Amino acid sequence: MSAHIIDGKAHAAALRAELKIQAAALSAKGLQPGLAVVIVGDDPASRTYVRNKVRACEEAGVYSETHQLPADTPESGVLARVRELNSNPRIHGVLVQLPLPAHINEPRVLAEVLPQKDVDGFHVHSAGALFVGAPHFVPCTPAGIIYLLEKESISIAGRHAVVIGRSNIVGKPIALLLLQRDATITICHSRTTDLGVHTRSADILVAAVGRLNFVTADMVKPGACVIDVGTNRAPDGKLCGDVDYETVKSVAGSITPVPGGVGPMTVAMLVANTLRAADHRTQD
């Protein structure tokens, strides 16, 4: 049997249509939501991600600005730009595209973003709020995964969720969000021994490794829900995930494709977080 394909593109389109209505309502109150994206250097993948984010904002009626800084911008210059955006009333969300060039201290820059404008959810304030179970802004990719699981009525409570990857952007926050929903969690990473023993017991398997075709069919429990967070380029230039999709889809119960799975949800969640940030302003 072949797995049910979770259509992230369709879910994201439906969500974005709802968000567009909410953005119009905020704009009608004189509070058009605004997002600023800071990108340092000219990494082509980052530029593509930023373009997608800005386009999604425009389509939803969210004002957006892209601040493209040269790769050799000193850290002080990036910090100064973030501070300017923090105090700009037109801007409700500030996002610093990662990775930053090696000479810049990433945690220091992320800590400069005002927590009320932290639509990426990367500030320690947001991370801490998630840790104690009172989420403030949730990072967009993990928020998108939870959205998909809930929309697809995939039960979480009491299930074993295995996350491969321990990044601050995906691995750790998705594990916390699943834990909050009463899953039993295992976090695997590059030093995990006997990875397959863990993954084969997963009811929900989240792959956030960054390696093409890393998860093979023999690592998946029959009927499991497989969430592929990978965005890798195959030798032929095609965008592929961390999961060997063609073989795993005959074992899994449900699976997200790449492209068209988690990726579009990440962008939709950024729009959602920007609207929330603007909406909070109405309560000031």
Q: Which residue ranges make up the site for ligand GUN (CB under 6 A)?
A: 95-98, 120, 140-141, 169, 266
Residue 212: helix, strand or coil by DSSP? coil
Decide if 97 is catalytic.
Answer: yes
Interatomic CA distance for residues 171 and 88, integer angstroms: 32
When the beta carbons of 62 and 224 are compared against ligand GUN, the nearer one is 62
Q: Is the dihedral of CA 10, 53, 166, 176 positive or negative?
A: negative
The minimum distance between CB 53 and ligand GUN, in angstroms, equals: 8
Decide if 120 is catalytic.
Answer: yes
Query: Largest alpha-carbon pair distance within the chain?
Result: 56
The minimum distance between CB 279 and ligand GUN, in angstroms, equals: 21
Query: Which is catalytic among the residues 116, 117, 118, 120?
Result: 120
When the beta carbons of 169 and 240 are compared against ligand GUN, the nearer one is 169
Interatomic CA distance for residues 136 and 181, integer angstroms: 16
Decide if 53 is catalytic.
Answer: yes
When the beta carbons of 220 and 268 are compared against ligand GUN, the nearer one is 268
Interatomic CA distance for residues 163 and 106, integer angstroms: 24
When the beta carbons of 163 and 224 are compared against ligand GUN, the nearer one is 163
The minimum distance between CB 45 and ligand GUN, in angstroms, equals: 8
The minimum distance between CB 174 and ligand GUN, in angstroms, equals: 12
Interatomic CA distance for residues 19 and 270, integer angstroms: 11
Query: Which is catalytic among the residues 22, 97, 172, 249?
Result: 97
The residue among 161, 159, 84, 93 whose CA lies nearest residue 126 is: 93
Residue appearing with tokens 């999604």:
56
Return the H-helix or E-strand segment holding 240. strand 239-240
Contact between 226 and 193 (Cβ < 8 Å)? no
Residue number with the smallest Cβ distance to ligand GUN? 98
Q: Which tokens is 177 given?
A: 């969000």
When the beta carbons of 40 and 220 are compared against ligand GUN, the nearer one is 40
The minimum distance between CB 266 and ligand GUN, in angstroms, equals: 6
Question: Helix-strand-coil percent breakdown of the chain, rounded to 5?
Answer: 45, 15, 40
Residues recognised as catalytic: 53, 97, 120
